[in-house]
Structures are given as C-alpha cells and as structure tokens.
Amino acid sequence: MPELPEVRVVRQQLNKYVKNKKIKEIHVFRDSFIKEISVEEFKKELKNEIILEVSNEGKFLVFHLTNEKIIISHLRMEGKYNYFSPAKNRLNHDYVLFEFDDNSNLHYNDTRTFGTFHLRNKDNYLTTKPLNKLAKIPEYTNIDDFFNKLQKKKTSIKTTLLDQTIIVGLGNIYVDEVLFATKISPLTQANKITKEKAQEILEKATEILDKSTALGGSSINSYTSLNKKKGSFQNFLQVHTKKGKPCTICKNEIVKIKVNGRGTYYCKTCQHEL
C-alpha cells in the first residue's frame, strides 16, 4: 500500500500533469470505485470542471476543482495513476478514465480494485468521512496530544502507529523503520512509551518520511508513482524486508514476525521492549 511519501510523490506528479486541465468526460468501468453516489451522478457533477490543484491529506489524494468541488481518491493496496498525451484507450486494469479537453487523459489503474473515490465540496470534505477522523502527520502532531493517545492504548506500538486516528502517514514500511530508528521493539505496549520516546518517534518519523519523499518513495512489490516511475528509498531501508540480513548497528540478524497479522521486521538486540 502506498504510504505518505508515495502519496506525496503521486500528488506532485499529478500537479505537474493535470493541473488546470478541464474534464471533458469521465469513464468508469467498475461502479464499486465510486462511493455513496451513482456513477452517472459522479460523471455529471464533474463534467466541464477544471482541476485547480491536487493536495493530500495523509494517504488520501484530494483533487480541488472549480465550483468548490472536491474528489477524494484513495489508492488502497495497488492503485496508481497514468497520464497520457495524446490520450490512450483503456489499458488492462484501468477502471476510471478522466478525459480532458486537450486530448490528454488520466487513467486510474488498480489490479486489486480496492481504491475509492468520494465526491465532496470545499465546505465539507474535511468534516465528513473519510477525512474527518484523521489525525495529523508526525511533523504537525502535538506531543502532548500524541502522548495522551498512546497512554490510552494497550495494543502494541506497531499496531498503534498504524492507526491513522493516532498519527497519519505511517504504514507497515515506515513504522518498522521508525521503531528501528528509535530503538523500540514493535512488541512494546503503546501505553508504556515514555514521553521522551514519543517525542523521538515524531522526530524520526518526520525525518524518514521527508527523506523517502525526496527519493520518490519506496518501490517495493508493485509501487510506482505516476506513469510507472519508481522511487529509490527502498535502497535505504534499515530493517523492512531485511529478514536474515545483519543489523547495520549490531550485525545480528534482522528477524521477521507477525504483529496483529502484519509482517514486521526488527532487530531483537537493538530494539528494546519497554
């Protein structure tokens, strides 16, 4: 699943290619992607609108259109965008096509078909689902609020940091990396994290997410940004995907375990259970 750095990179690329494009037509080839309203209503509401800007709220892409209309797009497991100029016909696993008036188009491709599109407006997109319960990204998270949330959680810190109502933008890859950077075992109960360690989590998370964004994200498994462009942060991962390889600090083997069903990589020697 694309995490915050990967979504940021997709956002940057979308702004480069589709900003100020006028939507001539939308083609939807699987109705389940469009949430809460009919496909016909979705297409009708967006026809002739112009994409003013693309932003993101955590892992959600937000298309800001004319007439204060908003499209909220979540890539889920395998979603990706491809832009073509001149326009191309639908390719394999393309399910939503935005046709622009300059003979270019944007294809939403999703092999797993888990992606979602919500139509909102400028006044309600932050106060209704799916964005209304999101926390903040680490950079903008208040340490007291974050620490108080951790104190109420008896789940593992690995599971807790994946909860987007606690902190936004950390998925499986970056939680593993942040916990290694802070020397915390993923099995540590969240309410045992000290305030000092909570502050360190926020600082290291910001540092890691920003570095990954600058390097185009982590291309692991199937992730690519717009038009199949790969990132390179996977070359700098310290523990994630490193099962059996020596820890960069102590040289003992990195292990892989399951934490609440999620594959989790860590160093038993360097990462301590608090």
Catalytic residues: 2-3, 59, 262
Degrees to nearest 5, angle at CA 232 with 224 and 261:
70
Beta strands in the chain (DSSP E): 23-28, 51-57, 60-65, 69-74, 80-84, 94-100, 105-109, 116-121, 255-259, 262-266
3-state helix, strand, coil in the chain (%, to 5): 30, 25, 45
Contact 212, 231 (CB under 8 A): yes
Dihedral angle sign, alpha carbons of residues 236, 238, 242, 244 = positive
How far from 166 is each of 105, 158, 213, CA to CA, in Å? 37, 12, 21
List the one residue out of 76, 268, 259, 77 whose CA is nearest residue 175. 259
List the one residue out of 107, 115, 94 whose CA is nearest residue 226. 107
Residues 171 and 193: their CA atoms lie apart, in Å, by 19
Count of CB atoms situated within 10 Å of the CB of 27: 15
Count of CB atoms situated within 10 Å of the CB of 155: 16
